[in-house]
């Protein structure tokens, strides 16, 4: 049960440089919360879930507003780039359709105008829509502190609901997404009770790379949302497909294995049993759709 | 309708511009100098005895100006609080639902008020909560109140054998010979249907601002569906004569029946009286969902018998409504007039119960009790037509009532377009053709609303520029000002722009019943019509000597009083308005009109919906939706279409996704994320067909329109899901998970 109340007193800072931001974090990181779009942070403060003594607004930090792409380095998304801006970036729709698809269903238009992809992953909700797509794309989080930068593979990023591997003195600067290899495709599908402005009851992203001649699968990534304490890849299910030609039967086995690997809970949105069923259905559907995108004919 | 020039036109709402530009004033916008802020301390338990309640610490906090508890409420002296209706019930010896108010604080800031609430010390002794109506009804279940007897609230019946009960109200109806009726039947089907408590989902949370003046008169700004009834109820709570309380109308951000309840205004007024300073109170969305009253959940068992040819021979039904923690808002009282009235049923038995539980008390929501009862009735009608292999609309047409038939309540039906509306839908579906595609299905259902009528007054002033001002005491919850302005414009033969409407406060406006039961336009139009005729008679008397024609030969058009025999003989209303004030005038032209005791003009709405069900996830997509409704006469078709589309959208939410989730009586989903209402992406364009079978009692033949379109939605959607999947769901909401469970179970059997 959530109960909104008036917000308690806190210090608000809006530094204009990364250096200042990191200096503040090195001193007061433990009591600070980062504000970008605020679409998760402000409701959490209002509902009394957190009461930071310092709110650090990072929207004026230039490094966090970067948005660019090149073939070699891939896509670099500043942590404070609003989702709606990301969605209008040409490279996204041309090369990262799975990410565009996932980000376009987050919240509502108003939320996407404020909310950021950095916030979506740092909030570390199991249901974060961008996470399964980013996991499939092999994204890395670039994290900075006074002592320097480090890269975290997204596979090692999510620790628990609301918890990431970012330290108290560290800041997510950008997300790096490698350019997807040739002959690859994937998609994200989720189930919500309401069509829009809802939170995923279960979400699945699948991403396939094929060997062009043999049409066998070279690389397979399947990631789930809202069915475990964190967004997660289902390595067992992925392994069943690697090096194989796609058949209806294998897809079915993979879907069942993905459902097996999920660790869903029952809550007011759905039962664990139903969530597991959804993982099966959505895994199957994303695989079929991905094959269709790649022009693979599935053997029946 | 060629015979009218403004009535029947599609006119945008006159309040639309101020609302979309944000300039309209709502309760929460009212600010007064030196204003204090109030906050409610609520019970964390669904059922508990209050062992100790200590407000000393809260009172001594700097900035706290008053803390009140039940012992401060004048209206509670020598009277059971069970008799105070639609009020917040400040707990006395015990709390009967989670979130029940226990104390209220006024402080110089909202932060201080919240802090003070945290300092209030309450020791509870928890009691086992009664959460299920069937459990609560059992004689061995301890009664929640020692002084509540069925149909005798807070005053024991003289019959010495009666015992207190959790059944607040019980009605029964018996007509004909039920046993004989069922013996005549070739097919008898019996089922039990359940619905969940549901929230209205109005956008605007509750708010109130109150001040007490030096003479002790209390003025209150708050959203309410009826300023005069609110005045009466608040005056009783405060122990003041009604005219010592003044309600000032403000705009209402959605009501749907939920804003007759006054959860803040009386508390706010009492705090203003105690402190001598203005006080504002507002609810958060969380508070609205915990203590803004829902529509009741229900359990209905229904049995219908038919002949092979599809004629109903007998029906019996038991309707049980979950009243929550207080008995005041009875739903059984609507059952008699609103169930089984659309079908000829010679033998019938109805039982209805309002049953108390330790959950949030309920209130009325768009056709109270009736969507729930029709979910059962119209699902059952669908099951029977399937069993008989009959077209569901033909089955209904064949059994529909006609003028002069007696309803279960014993009332003789006036003319209602049952057949016309059903046939209109049948024709629509014939033209549309049958539904193609896998996992798709069509459902139809029929909804009836008996309607209500109230007492209303109206004044009209004809101004010196020929414009007309109407003064009423009706708060506008559904576009009523626009439709009423159309009637005034029609009657005076002036354009819409020449009509202005003032919704007065309770000191200046004529008495009005609340805007409930779809009675507003239906009843108010009589008072307004009469006020118009009164003013027109005065205008005729002024015009007659000037035109040299008899007063009875004068009519009104194009802003003029005109001689019927020669339209060249005319005089502008402006000239008459001015001359009324002159030496030869009779003084200002003021028309007045009143109405009471009008018989209702029942209405029927027929629904048809096409859905597609995802057989692997259970998710329903509503493909198309159509409603045909007998509206009598559409004053403003656009406004009625909006009403129908809004009602259907609310009904789709009720059917598919909405519902309170309780844990030991405490509401768990107190945000609009998890109290899930449909958005525009969940509903298709809703087609509307306005059938105009004029009523004999409404001005121009109009009928009640706001509530009827809600009634049939739940069953229509359930029937469509059955068509698409073969799965019959008898419990709402029909979530994807529930539907999938049904599909899987079916696969096994």
| Top-level class of domain B453-595 | alpha beta
Suggest the residue from B110, B282, B676 to mutate for an interface test with chain A (most A CBs closer than 10 A): B676
Instruction: With H, G, I as helix, E, B as strand and everything else as coil, classify residue B236.
Output: helix
Distance from C-alpha of B393 to C-alpha of B604, rounded to nearest angstrom: 14
Residue indicated by tokens 């009403």: B643
CATH number of A184-294: 3.30.390.50
* Cα A126 to Cα A129, A161, A288, B611, B729, distances in angstroms: 9, 6, 25, 31, 32
Q: Which residues on chain B are in Cβ contact (under 8 Å) with A198?
A: 673, 676
For B288-328, write each residue's pLDDT tens digit. Answer: 999 999 999 999 999 999 999 999 999 999 999 999 999 99
Under-70 pLDDT residues of chain A: 1-5
Q: Do B671 and A2 touch (CB under 8 A)?
A: yes
Q: Average pLDDT of B173-194? A: 98
* Residues of A in Cβ contact (< 8 Å) with B661: 268
Contact A1 B666 (CB under 8 A): yes
For chain A, residues classed under CATH 3.30.390.50 are: 184-294
pLDDT on residue A1: 41
Of B286, B661, B740, the CB nearest to A274: B740
The shortest C-alpha distance from A191 to chain B (Å) reads 8
Q: Which residues of A touch B671 (CB under 8 A)?
A: 2
The chain A residue lying nearest B738, using CA atoms, is A274
What CATH architecture does domain B298-451+600-748 belong to? Answer: 2-Layer Sandwich (3.30)
pLDDT confidence of residue A3? 59
Instruction: Please give the residue of chain A at the shortest CA–CA distance from B619.
Output: A193
Q: What does the pLDDT read at residue B430? A: 97
Contacts of B111 in chain A (CB under 8 A): 6
User: What per-residue string of b and e applies to B267-296 under the rule 16 or more CB within 10 Å gives b?
Assistant: bbbbbbbbbebbbbbbbbbbbbbbbbbbbb
User: CB–CB of B110 and A268 under 8 A?
Assistant: no
Give the chain B residue nearest A199 (alpha carbons). B673
A contacts of B40 (beta carbons < 8 Å):
none
User: Given this model, what pLDDT does residue B582 score?
Assistant: 81
Q: A-side interface with B, Cβ within 8 Å?
A: 1-6, 191, 193-199, 268-271, 274, 277-278, 281
Q: Give span(s): CATH 3.30.465.10, chain A.
A: 64-177
Q: Inspect the interface and report whether the beta carbons of A1 and B661 lie closer than 8 Å.
A: no
pLDDT tens for residues A38-52? 999 999 998 888 999
Helix or strand (DSSP H, E) at A99: helix A97-103
The fold for domain A64-177 equals: 3.30.465
Q: Where in chain A is the domain with CATH 3.30.43?
A: 11-56
**Residue A4 has what pLDDT?**
61
Pick the residue from chain B with its C-alpha nearest to A269.
B674
Q: How far is B742 from chain A (nearest CA, A)?
A: 13
> From the candidates B118, B360, B673, which should be mutated to test the interface with A, based on the most A CB atoms within 10 A?
B673
Mutation to test the B interface, candidates A4, A5, A199, most B Cβ within 10 Å: A5
Residue of B nearest to A9 (CA): B111
Q: Which residues of B touch A1 (CB under 8 A)?
A: 286, 666-668, 670
Contacts of B114 in chain A (CB under 8 A): 5-6
Interface of B with A (CB under 8 A): 110-111, 114, 284-287, 616-617, 619, 656-657, 661, 666-671, 673-674, 676-679, 681-682, 735-737, 740
Q: What is the DSSP letter of B700?
A: G
Q: Which residues of A touch B284 (CB under 8 A)?
A: 3-5
Q: What is the pLDDT of residues B504-529, one digit of tens each?
A: 999 999 999 999 999 999 999 999 99
- Burial (0-12, 13-18, 19+ Cβ within 10 Å), B745: exposed
> Closest-CA residue in chain A for B114?
A5
Domain regions of chain B by residue span: 27-128+206-282, 298-451+600-748, 453-595
Whether B671 sits inside 8 A of A5 (CB atoms) is no
Q: Give contacts of B287 with chain A, Cβ < 8 Å.
A: 3
Given an 8 Å threshold on Cβ–Cβ distance, is A1 in contact with B657?
no
Which residues make beta-bridge pairs with B614? none
Residue of B nearest to A280 (CA): B616
Who among A4, A197, A281 is closest to B617 (CB)?
A: A281
The answer to whether A117 and A65 have CB atoms below 8 angstroms apart is no
Q: How many CB pairs under 8 A join A and B?
A: 59
Interface ipTM > 0.90: yes
Name the DSSP class of B296. P
CB contact under 8 A, A274 and B737: yes
Condensed to tens digits (0 to 9), the pLDDT of residues B644-671 reads 999 999 999 999 999 999 999 999 999 9
- In Å, how far are B381, B418, B678 from B622, measured between CA atoms? 21, 26, 11
Q: How far is CA B712 from the centre of its chain?
A: 16
CB contact under 8 A, A194 and B619: no
* CB atoms near residue B16 (< 10 Å): 12
- Tell me which chain B residue has its CA closest to the CA of residue A5: B114
Contact B114 A5 (CB under 8 A): yes
- State the pLDDT at residue A29: 87
Residue in chain B closest to A190 (alpha carbons) equals B617
Q: Distance (Å, rounded) from C-alpha B308 to C-alpha A120?
A: 62
Which is higher by pLDDT, B702 or B81?
A: B702
Inter-CA distances, B445 with B371, B397, B546, Å: 11, 12, 59
B106 sits in which H/E element: strand B101-107
pLDDT at position B334 over 50: yes
Whole-angstrom Cα distance, residue B419 to residue A298?
A: 54
Are β-strands B666-667 and B662-663 bridged in parallel, bridged antiparallel, or unpaired?
Answer: antiparallel
Question: What topology does CATH give the domain A11-56?
Answer: 3.30.43
Nearest CA in chain B to A200: B673
Please tell me which of the candidates B111, B114, B286 has its beta carbon nearest to residue A2: B286
- Do B291 and B263 meet the contact criterion of CB atoms below 8 Å apart? yes
CATH of B27-128+206-282, one of 3.40.50.20, 3.40.630.30, 3.20.20.70, 3.90.1170.50: 3.90.1170.50
Contacts of A194 in chain B (CB under 8 A): 657, 676-679, 681-682
Across the interface, whether the CB atoms of B284 and A195 are under 8 A apart is answered no
Closest chain A CA to residue B671:
A2
CB contact under 8 A, B737 and A1: no
Amino acid A112: pLDDT = 97
Are B532 and B594 in contact by the 8 Å Cβ rule? The answer is: no
Minimum-distance CB partner of A268 among B110, B674, B740: B674
Count of C-beta atoms within a 10 Å radius of residue A8: 12
B27-128+206-282 shares its CATH topology with B298-451+600-748:
no
């Amino acid at each position: 049960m959530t109960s909104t109340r008036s917000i308690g007193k806190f210090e608000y800072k809006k530094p204009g440089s990364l250096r200042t931001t990191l200096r503040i974090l090195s001193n007061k990181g433990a009591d600070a919360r980062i504000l970008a779009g605020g679409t998760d942070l402000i409701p959490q403060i209002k509902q009394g879930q957190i009461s930071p003594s310092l709110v650090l607004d990072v929207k004026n930090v230039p490094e966090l507003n970067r948005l660019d792409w090149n073939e070699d380095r891939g896509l670099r998304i500043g942590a404070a780039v609003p989702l709606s801006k990301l969605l209008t970036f040409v490279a996204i729709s041309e090369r990262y359709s799975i990410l565009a698809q996932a980000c376009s269903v987050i919240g509502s238009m108003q939320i996407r105008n404020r909310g950021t992809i950095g916030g979506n992953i740092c909030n570390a909700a199991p249901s974060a829509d961008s996470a399964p797509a980013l996991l499939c794309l092999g994204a890395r989080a670039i994290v900075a502190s006074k002592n320097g930068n480090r890269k975290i593979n997204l596979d090692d990023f999510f620790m628990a609901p609301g918890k990431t591997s970012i330290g108290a003195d560290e800041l997510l600067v950008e997300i790096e997404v490698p350019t997807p290899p040739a002959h690859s495709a994937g998609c994200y599908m989720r189930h919500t009770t309401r069509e829009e402005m809802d939170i995923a009851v279960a979400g699945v992203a699948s991403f396939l790379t094929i060997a062009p001649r043999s049409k066998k699968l070279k690389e397979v990534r399947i990631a789930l949302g809202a069915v475990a304490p964190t967004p997660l890849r289902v390595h067992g299910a992925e392994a069943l497909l690697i090096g194989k030609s796609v058949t209806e039967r294998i897809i079915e086995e993979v879907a069942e294995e993905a459902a097996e690997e999920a660790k869903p809970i029952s809550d007011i949105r759905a039962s664990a049993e139903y969530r597991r069923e959804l993982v099966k259905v959505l895994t199957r559907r994303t695989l079929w759709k991905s094959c269709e995108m790649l022009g693979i004919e599935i053997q029946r | 309708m060629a015979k009218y020039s403004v009535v029947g036109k599609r006119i945008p709402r006159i309040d639309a511009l101020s609302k979309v530009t944000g300039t309209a004033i709502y309760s929460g916008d009212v600010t007064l100098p030196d204003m204090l802020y109030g906050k409610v301390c609520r019970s964390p338990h669904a059922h508990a005895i209050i062992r100790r309640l200590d407000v000393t610490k809260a009172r001594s906090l700097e900035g706290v100006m008053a803390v009140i508890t039940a012992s401060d409420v004048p209206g509670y002296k020598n009277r059971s609080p069970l008799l105070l209706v639609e009020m917040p019930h400040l707990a006395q010896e015990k709390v009967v639902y989670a979130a029940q108010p226990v104390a209220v604080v006024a402080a110089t800031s909202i932060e201080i008020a919240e802090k003070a609430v945290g300092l209030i010390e309450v020791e509870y002794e928890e009691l086992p909560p009664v959460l299920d109506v069937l459990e609560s009804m059992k004689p061995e279940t301890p009664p929640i109140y020692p002084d509540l007897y069925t149909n005798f609230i807070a005053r024991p019946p003289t019959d010495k054998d009666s015992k207190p009960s959790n059944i607040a109200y019980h009605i029964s109806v018996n007509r004909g010979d039920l046993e004989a009726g069922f013996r005549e039947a070739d097919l008898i089907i019996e089922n039990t249907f359940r619905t969940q408590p549901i929230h209205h989902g109005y956008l605007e949370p509750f708010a109130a601002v109150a001040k007490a003046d030096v003479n002790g008169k209390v003025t209150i700004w708050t959203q309410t569906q009826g300023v005069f009834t609110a005045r009466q109820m608040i005056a009783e709570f405060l122990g003041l004569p009604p005219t010592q309380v003044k309600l000032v109308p403000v705009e209402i951000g959605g009501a749907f029946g939920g804003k007759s309840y006054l959860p803040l205004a009386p508390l706010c007024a009492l705090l203003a009286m105690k402190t001598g300073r203005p006080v504002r109170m507002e609810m958060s969305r969380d508070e609205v969902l915990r203590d803004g009253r829902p529509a009741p959940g229900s359990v209905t068992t229904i049995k219908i018998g038919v002949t092979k040819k599809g004629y109903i021979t007998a029906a019996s039904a038991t309707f049980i409504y979950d009243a929550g923690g207080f008995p005041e808002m009875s739903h059984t009282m609507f059952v008699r007039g609103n169930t089984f009235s659309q079908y000829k049923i010679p033998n019938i038995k109805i039982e209805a119960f309002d049953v108390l539980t330790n959950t949030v008390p309920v209130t009325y929501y768009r056709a109270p009790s009736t969507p729930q009862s029709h979910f059962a009735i119209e699902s059952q009608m669908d099951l029977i037509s399937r069993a008989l292999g009959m077209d569901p609309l033909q089955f209904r047409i064949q059994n529909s009532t006609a003028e002069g038939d007696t309803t279960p309540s014993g009332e003789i039906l006036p003319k209602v377009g049952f057949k016309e509306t059903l046939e209109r839908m049948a024709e629509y579906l014939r033209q549309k053709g049958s539904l193609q595609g896998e996992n798709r299905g069509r459902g139809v259902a029929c909804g009836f609303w008996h309607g209500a009528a109230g007492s209303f007054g109206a004044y009209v002033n004809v101004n010196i520029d020929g414009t007309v001002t109407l003064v009423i005491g009706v708060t506008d919850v559904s576009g009523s000002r626009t439709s009423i302005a159309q009637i005034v414009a029609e009657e005076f033969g002036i354009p819409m722009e020449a009509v202005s409407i003032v919704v007065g406060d309770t000191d200046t406006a004529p008495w009005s019943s609340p805007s409930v039961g779809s009675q507003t336009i239906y009843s108010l139009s009589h008072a307004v019509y009469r006020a118009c005729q009164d003013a027109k008679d005065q205008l005729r008397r002024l015009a007659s000597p000037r035109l040299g024609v008899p007063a009875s030969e004068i009519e009104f058009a194009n802003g003029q009083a005109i001689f019927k025999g020669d339209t060249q003989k005319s005089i502008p209303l402006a000239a008459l308005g001015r001359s009324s004030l002159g030496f030869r005038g009779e003084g200002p032209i003021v028309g007045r009109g009143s109405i009471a005791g009008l018989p209702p003009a029942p209405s029927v709405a027929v629904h048809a919906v096409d859905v597609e069900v995802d057989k692997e996830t259970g998710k329903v997509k509503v493909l198309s939706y159509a409603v045909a409704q007998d509206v009598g006469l559409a004053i403003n078709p656009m406004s009625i279409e909006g009403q129908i589309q809004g009602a259907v959208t609310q009904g789709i939410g009720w059917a598919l996704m909405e519902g309170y989730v309780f844990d030991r009586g405490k509401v768990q989903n107190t945000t609009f994320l998890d109290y899930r209402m449909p958005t525009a992406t969940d509903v298709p364009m809703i087609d509307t067909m306005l059938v105009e079978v004029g009523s004999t009692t409404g001005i121009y033949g109009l009928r009640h329109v706001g509530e009827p379109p809600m009634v049939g939605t739940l069953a229509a959607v359930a029937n469509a899901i059955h068509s698409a999947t073969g799965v019959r769901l008898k419990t709402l909401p029909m979530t994807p998970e529930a539907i999938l469970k049904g599909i899987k179970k079916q696969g096994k059997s």
